[in-house]
Structure 1
Amino acid sequence: MVCVWVPAEQESFLSVGDRFGIAPSTAHFVYEEVVQCLHMAMDDYIKWPTEAKALESVNVFQLRSRGIPGVVGAIDGCHIPIQQPAGNPIDFYNRKGFHSIILQGVCDDGMRFIDIAVGMPGRMHDARVFENSPLRQKLVVERVLGPDRHLIGDAAYPLLGCLITPFRNTGHLTNAQVVFNTRLSTIRSVVERAFGLLKGKFRRLKYLNMGNRGLLNRSVAACCVLHNFLLQTEGEEEMAQDYDEAYEEPEGDADVREGGNQEGRVKREYIMGLL
């Protein structure tokens, strides 16, 4: 209960200790122990979808977008505010004017995380976070998605055969490109809602004042594990009561990438032609 309470509320370990009738040091020890257990259980709750689950997501996303096929999940980055780290604070000072680490998340149609990467400095761009994450290895090298499957992301990400992004808005988009971007946006927003739900349920993620970087990263991962567990047991409607409408997409991350590789361009043009 201590471990659930700490990320759910923005209280000090002194206050948590008083609430549960234990010493602050004991509360901290208990929290670290349980967070470590949740982190070890991450592969059981945050996992790549099976073929059956992937097909279910593809069908749901295609229905919601009115025609975009092959979408297994949506990717985005989320800033987790932290206290100024010792040693190298500049790398963690982001474009919005505060220190943070980045949570890169991929979620399915039900806002469940199927892949996360935690801990990159807040100053790092979404595209570079993706390039340095295990997910890129999984998608580009191992090709865990077939040629007719892909993730979707915003314009901050590179256009690849396995990662479809919108057309950059230069003010000269064709009607077909506008339709494509609009329909892509309707289903890509699911990952933003997932982050809003995560921060609404676990309010400590609005500011993690922990000096231990390892514990900080494990805490974020543990919250993602609990997020998936709650969606699995409570469902979306019950979880939505704690939705954080204040979540905003990181400023300055959109509309900076264009071009992409040939496979991505051909695939995007093909999908646009279907709409």
Structure 2
Amino acid sequence: NMVPLRVVTAYLHVFMHSRRHAKGLVYVERTKPLEQYTTEELYVRFRFGKADIEYLVNLLRPKLQHRTQRSHGLSVEDQILIALRFYACGTFYEVVGDYMGVVKSAVCDVVKDVSIALASLVNEFVSFPKDNQIAQAKRSFFLLGNMPNTIGAIDCTHVHIQAPRENEWEFINRKGRHSINVQLVCDADLIITNCVVKWPGSVHDARILRESALYRDLQTNRPDGVILGDSAYPLLPWLMTPFLTANTPAQARFNTAHCRARCAIERLNGVLKRRFACLNYLRAEPQKACNITLACIVLHNIATKHFLDQSDPNPTKKF
């Protein structure tokens, strides 16, 4: 009573074909976060509330609406939510896709497209203080640490990435990890006023500053105020560093005030990576990592300015 081999083969063929056909018909319902979650829940999951997300949708619509075919037919709102979820949690694309109800390849495309769109707006949302903004910056820094005439604080932070395929050795930083070394300048309210996002992790902070447009501009047009930096930076007419050894009470007082005011940039680095956990480690090639970092910088300023405009006494409390 043996079943002929050709019958078994035919049965398996029909079975596997039906499985493939059924699999193709599987429909994963996409989530609707703006309908499902409260404002607080949206902040936890996406770092923005409903009104803020709608603002981002309108802001990026001209840059994203023509990419629907590339992004698997996703609406601009869907693209923004997928990217925000990735920035907020920094996990694998597949995990974000499962959460949002889309395939892994769609998440990859969306993160790339949204990051490029946001990065293109960096000059619109990141600007060094001018005119009346300078006076406000000085007041804020003086209240922060009794440091007069201060308009900014500067430091670098490393965004860790996977080992790149080209020039891998250039990206190894002093701690032996691959990274992008990101230069940031901020004000006392933790708003980023200047950024340089392009250098491998092996490059020293002082060189990044020396070869930046900010350095050339401030060397030529000395600002009405000073920037505070740590001992990794050179002492310049517009860049104040602490005394390496405080030999007098006056020098000790200066170092204390300098430290209290300069802590703004250290707080910023912490807030930025808590707000956008993806910046703790990016599984991406250097150029894509730079675009994602720029996108997070733009989003950080949008979020921080929004909270300040609402007179929030603690604009980072949700993060």
Whether these two folds match at TM > 0.5 is: yes
Bigger relative contact order, structure 1 or 2, given CA contacts below 8 A and separation 6+? 1
- 1:91-130 counterparts in 2 under 5 A? 91-130=170-209
Question: Contact conserved, 1:230 with 1:239, CA < 8 A, in 2?
Answer: no
- 1:61-72 counterparts in 2 under 5 A? 61-66=141-146, 68-72=147-151
1:227 to 300, 304, 310: 300
Match of 2:106 in 1: 26
TM-score normalised to the size of structure 2? 0.71
Structure 2 Cα separation of the partners of residues 72 and 57 of structure 1: 5
Match of 1:161 in 2: 237
- 1:147-171 deviations in Å (ceiling 9; x for gaps): xx111101110100111111112xx
Structure 2 Cα separation of the partners of residues 179 and 233 of structure 1: 35
Match of 2:63 in 1: none
Structure 2 Cα separation of the partners of residues 101 and 214 of structure 1: 10
Match of 1:5 in 2: 85
Amino acid of the residue matched to residue 45 of structure 1?
A: F
Structure 1 Cα separation of the partners of residues 302 and 130 of structure 2: 17
**Is residue 2:121 matched to residue 1:41?**
yes
SS at match of 2:317: helix
Match of 1:250 in 2: none
Match of 2:248 in 1: 174
Structure 2 Cα separation of the partners of residues 101 and 78 of structure 1: 8
Structure 2 Cα separation of the partners of residues 217 and 195 of structure 1: 16
TM-score normalised to the size of structure 1? 0.81
Deviation at 1:85, TM superposition (A): 1.5
Question: Contact conserved, 2:180 with 2:197, CA < 8 A, in 1?
Answer: yes
1:187 to 247, 251, 261: 261
Structure 1 Cα separation of the partners of residues 139 and 91 of structure 2: 42
**Is residue 2:287 matched to residue 1:210?**
no
Structure 2 Cα separation of the partners of residues 79 and 27 of structure 1: 25
Match of 2:136 in 1: 56
Deviation at 1:53, TM superposition (A): 1.3
- 1:219-264 deviations in Å (ceiling 9; x for gaps): 101101111111111346242332xxxxxxxxxxxxxxxxxxxxxx
Deviation at 1:144, TM superposition (A): 5.2
Deviation at 1:63, TM superposition (A): 3.0
Structure 1 Cα separation of the partners of residues 315 and 213 of structure 2: 32
Question: Contact conserved, 2:129 with 2:137, CA < 8 A, in 1?
Answer: no
Match of 2:46 in 1: none
- Which sections of structure 2, spanning at least 5 residues, go unmatched? 1-80
Structure 2 Cα separation of the partners of residues 116 and 168 of structure 1: 26
Structure 2 Cα separation of the partners of residues 194 and 202 of structure 1: 12
- Which sections of structure 1, spanning at least 5 residues, go unmatched? 243-275
Amino acid of the residue matched to residue 231 of structure 2?
A: A
Question: Contact conserved, 2:186 with 2:192, CA < 8 A, in 1?
Answer: yes
Question: Contact conserved, 1:78 with 1:104, CA < 8 A, in 2?
Answer: yes
Larger proportion of helix: 2
2:318 to 231, 241, 248: 241
CA RMSD of aligned residues (A): 1.5
Structure 2 Cα separation of the partners of residues 17 and 63 of structure 1: 45
Structure 2 Cα separation of the partners of residues 173 and 208 of structure 1: 44
Larger radius of gyration: 2
**1:11 to 1:122, Cα distance in 2 relative to 1, 3 A:** same
Structure 1 Cα separation of the partners of residues 272 and 187 of structure 2: 14
- Give aligned-pair identity as a percent: 33
Amino acid of the residue matched to residue 220 of structure 1?
A: T
SS at match of 1:209: coil
